Amino acid sequence: MRRSGDPVRFEGIEPGTTTHCGSTTVTENEIVEFAERYDPLAIHTDPAAAAESRFGGLIASGYHTLCLSVRLLVEGVRNERAVVGGLGIDDVRWHRPVEPGDAITVRTEILDTRPSESDPNTGIVHEAITVTNQREETVLSYENYELLARRE
Amino acid sequence: MRRSGDPVRFEGIEPGTTTHCGSTTVTENEIVEFAERYDPLAIHTDPAAAAESRFGGLIASGYHTLCLSVRLLVEGVRNERAVVGGLGIDDVRWHRPVEPGDAITVRTEILDTRPSESDPNTGIVHEAITVTNQREETVLSYENYELLARRE
């Protein structure tokens, strides 16, 4: 049994489980601030230049959307888990742009789990993560590999 | 010929080309600031808790390292290209932790290019990106798919 406050260990993760995490609204200020620091292309930082692009206006850096999904995942599931670290992500695809005012939400489904071969104290959790906007259109999807501590 | 100031279009990208982008030093303040906003796990935000972890101290969020590599790529190559947008990234692997004071640098190699099937005005550039620390250890690697405008 998991006592309240104990982190969820590897053995407590059930393949097939889907969790809906929270939602966050993306503002123009935040789009520009993130992009000026990490992805300073004009379509993310310059409203006038972005208006001339195929998107017709500013769009969030795909890395910004990715990072916002991470925050929602930490708040929604990872904070409760005995996370040792992230191993990697696969098949990251930005399906549609995220525009100022869009509200994005995150769903994660456990695909499979397996004990680590190199470290008997840990196990690997493999998840499919889907980020949707307020019209329920998928804007980003990816798979995540995360290392969790096992029970002692 | 590319005139100075003209962006590099799809046809100007040569498979096999390797570019070394700049370097950036990661500070503890920046690690904590990024993580509090986007990846608020204790190993990234709380020096005391991180000291008890297997890493023995604070480590940068893998998403922070990823975003810093994007900035170096924008400054090193993407700002000169006719980038339409990013399609996705594959095989993102965090090989080693990045610690406060580490200096990371980015190398990108063009793997292949192909015209877009759905949009004759664009082409897809596929790159292998490697991020190393000051000891020339690989800390992060991934592949990038980017849409560039073609010549008119």
Task: Give the pLDDT confidence score for residue B2 in this predicted structure.
Answer: 55
Q: Which ipTM did the prediction report?
A: 0.96
At the topology level, CATH places domain A11-149 in: Thiol Ester Dehydrase; Chain A (3.10.129)
Backbone phi and psi for residue A110, each to the nearest 5 degrees, phi listed first: -75, 120
Q: How far apart are the first and last CA of chain B?
A: 14
Contact A43 B85 (CB under 8 A): yes
Query: Does the pLDDT value for residue B3 go beyond 60?
Result: no
3-state per-residue secondary structure call for B18-49:
EEEEEEEECCHHHHHHHHHHHCCCHHHHCHHH
* A contact test, residue of B29, B81, B92, B106 with most A CBs within 10 A: B92
Q: Do B66 and A63 touch (CB under 8 A)?
A: yes
Over residues B97-139, the pLDDT tens digits come to 999 999 999 999 999 999 999 999 999 999 999 999 999 999 9
Mean pLDDT of chain B: 95
Asked if the Cβ–Cβ distance from B88 to A93 is below 8 Å, we say yes
* Overall average pLDDT of the A129-150 stretch: 98
Q: How confident is the model at residue A2, as a pLDDT?
A: 55
pLDDT digits (tens, 9 = 90+) for B10-62: 999 999 999 999 999 999 999 999 999 999 999 999 999 999 998 999 999 99
A152 pLDDT band (50/70/90 cuts)? confident
Q: Where are the domains of chain B?
A: 11-149
Q: Is A42 on the interface with B (CB under 8 A)?
A: no
A6 has pLDDT over 90:
no
Query: Mean pLDDT over all residues of chain A?
Result: 95
CB contact under 8 A, A63 and B84: no
End-to-end CA distance of chain A: 14
Query: Residue A3 has what pLDDT?
Result: 57
State the Cα–Cα distance between residues A86 and A11, nearest whole angstrom: 17
Taking CA atoms, B89 is separated from A25, B11, B29, B39, B137, in Å, by: 24, 21, 28, 19, 21
Would you state the pLDDT for residue B96?
97
- φ/ψ of A54, rounded to 5, equals -65, -15
Going B43 to B47 to B52 to B55, the CA torsion angle's sign is positive
The pLDDT value recorded for residue A149 is 96
Strands (DSSP E) found in chain A: 18-25, 83-94, 103-115, 122-132, 138-149
For residue B137, how many other CB atoms are within 10 A of its CB? Answer: 11
User: Quick check: B23 and B119 in contact, CB under 8 A?
Assistant: no
Q: Quick one: CA dihedral B75, A88, B103, A60, positive or negative? A: positive
